[in-house]
Structure 1
Amino acid sequence: MAKGSAKFALSWWEIAGGLGVAASFALGLLSVYFSMPPTDYSFLKIPRTIEELQILRVHLESYSSDYTMQVLVGYCTVYIFMQTFMIPGTIFMSLLAGALFGVFGGVALVVFAATAGASSCFFLSKLIGRPLASSLWPDKLSYFQAQVSKRKEKLLNYMLFLRVTPTLPNTFINVASPIVDVPYHIFLLATLIGLIPAAYVTVRAGIALGDLRSVGDLYDFQSIATLFLIGIVTVTPTLLKKKNQSEECEVNSKLKAI
């Protein structure tokens, strides 16, 4: 029992920091809520099913035209909050962006909110994430640490590959990156660029929200294969460099032998 407790040992400053972040988001959500016009907001909740999302879309369509700024701020605040505290369901928020704002507006909104949320989770994990990651994903964390250490020179390519493909969950990447010493500028750039393909697939599906029956309809074999193809392209420069270095070492060895 003592060993398990030690894994989650946090200082009072770390606990206060985490609670402070949560309180800031709560204050932001309340501010958005009270800025909306008086009406029945019983429909406002984080959707967990396609049916709940369709109901939310119907109610928000009128607000998105009359109160665009409040809807945008509220959307971003909820999305970033969910990403920061690893709350499942951001895929429904991405679908909602497509239904409300179209492909280009939806992709821009999702990429911005997802990048901001991932960054927020990155810094929160830097503060208090090590005990959580070590307890939840010990083997995965060790694997990630080893892969990052081997790819220091081309770390951006590797992080892009992880973001584009479903090799590792995005939640894990957000939490584990500061723990395994991924520099924030690489994390930020890989997130900003790497989330675009998946965001496009999801947002585009949100436009035809009425035709969806489940989240499983989003990622068919073709979509997943396309994401992996894009991911392979991102790591190709690293593979080519390793091949060239290997060939160069082999040539040098032969020259020395002569």
Structure 2
Amino acid sequence: MERSEETAEYDEKFEGSASKFPLTLWEICAASGVVLAFAFGLLGVYLTLPASDYSFLKLPRTLDDLQILRDHLEDYTSDYTLQVLVGYCVVYIFMQTFMIPGTVFMSLLAGSLFGVFRGLALVLFNATAGASSCYFLSKLIGRPIVFSLWPDKLVFFQEQVAKRRKNLLNYMLFLRVTPTLPNTFINLASPIVDVPYHIFFLATLIGLIPAAYVSVRAGLALGELKSLGDLYDLHSIATLFLIGLVTVTPTLMGKNKS
């Protein structure tokens, strides 16, 4: 009974949001402005590179595509390090902002080109920046989109956030470390269910470290990977869940005491 009342209140709260879809003209213009900003950034990087054939520059969709991209970029990384770094960051953040699949390939590429420690720092910076960009874009225009795509999941997330408000950082860390909810959904839904940005930021920066480390380290042996499934075996997944349980334990203990 209590759950149905909460659900009814939540549905009433977002009733206006559902009818708001599709986006208004102002919201479309705002999103288009963000796209143009990324486009100009990529154009600036491209114009500073030497004249050459850049047909290899495309978003990798397979490990073969990634290996071809890595082989070509290795020739540029030493002489045009700044351009490669800026281009990498713009592409990664753009993909995170607009929920384009394939950031795992970008993480592998970072490890392959820059090594474990520099690659890990690069991935964490871009993943956090991209998630933050998605958070604020969703805060601006995401409410009708999320409500239309994941209404039930959004209600569940809102209820969990409300229950764990006092230990929200632990809960958000648990979500980031474990594959309980997709990261794309977390990025989009967090501002809608009133997750404060500082909590979102810390949970993203810290919670993504284990998965990012696995991907970056695997990039060192890119040629040995047969499929993306090789990244996460049963042991790796179990380890991530164990870390997630450790982060959420204070929340569970606090709930039992109350």
Note the C-alpha offset of 1:10: 2.5
Alignment-derived partner of residue 251 in structure 1 = none
Alignment-derived partner of residue 154 in structure 1 = 167
Alignment-derived partner of residue 55 in structure 2 = 42
| 1:101-156 residue CA offsets vs partner (Å, 9 max, x unmatched) | 11101110000000000000000000110111011111111110100010100000
Alignment-derived partner of residue 211 in structure 1 = 224
| 1:147-180 residue CA offsets vs partner (Å, 9 max, x unmatched) | 0010100000000000011111100000000011
User: What residue identity is the alignment partner of 2:149?
Assistant: L
Give the 3-state SS of the residue equivalent to 2:232 in structure 1: coil
| 1:78-108 residue CA offsets vs partner (Å, 9 max, x unmatched) | 0000000000000000000010011101110
| 1:176-202 residue CA offsets vs partner (Å, 9 max, x unmatched) | 000111000100010010011000000
Alignment identity in percent? 75
- Partner Cα separation in structure 1 for residue 170 and residue 19 of structure 2: 36
- Partner Cα separation in structure 1 for residue 23 and residue 251 of structure 2: 39
Contact kept in structure 2, 1:7 and 1:135, CA below 8 Å: no
Alignment-derived partner of residue 119 in structure 1 = 132
Alignment-derived partner of residue 254 in structure 1 = none
User: What residue identity is the alignment partner of 1:81?
Assistant: F
Alignment-derived partner of residue 76 in structure 1 = 89
- Partner Cα separation in structure 2 for residue 38 and residue 116 of structure 1: 31
Q: Does 2:121 align with 1:108?
A: yes
Alignment-derived partner of residue 12 in structure 2 = none
1:86-101 maps to which residues of 2 (within 5 A)? 86-101=99-114
| Unaligned residue ranges in structure 2 (runs of 5+) | 1-15
| 1:198-247 residue CA offsets vs partner (Å, 9 max, x unmatched) | 0000001111000001111111001101111111110111122223x24x
Contact kept in structure 1, 2:18 and 2:144, CA below 8 Å: no
1:1-258 maps to which residues of 2 (within 5 A)? 6-243=19-256, 245-246=257-258
Indicate the structure (1 or 2) with the bigger Cα radius of gyration: 1
Note the C-alpha offset of 1:46: 0.3
Contact kept in structure 1, 2:111 and 2:120, CA below 8 Å: yes
- Partner Cα separation in structure 2 for residue 184 and residue 203 of structure 1: 26
User: What residue identity is the alignment partner of 2:194?
Assistant: D
| Unaligned residue ranges in structure 1 (runs of 5+) | 247-258
Note the C-alpha offset of 1:6: 3.4
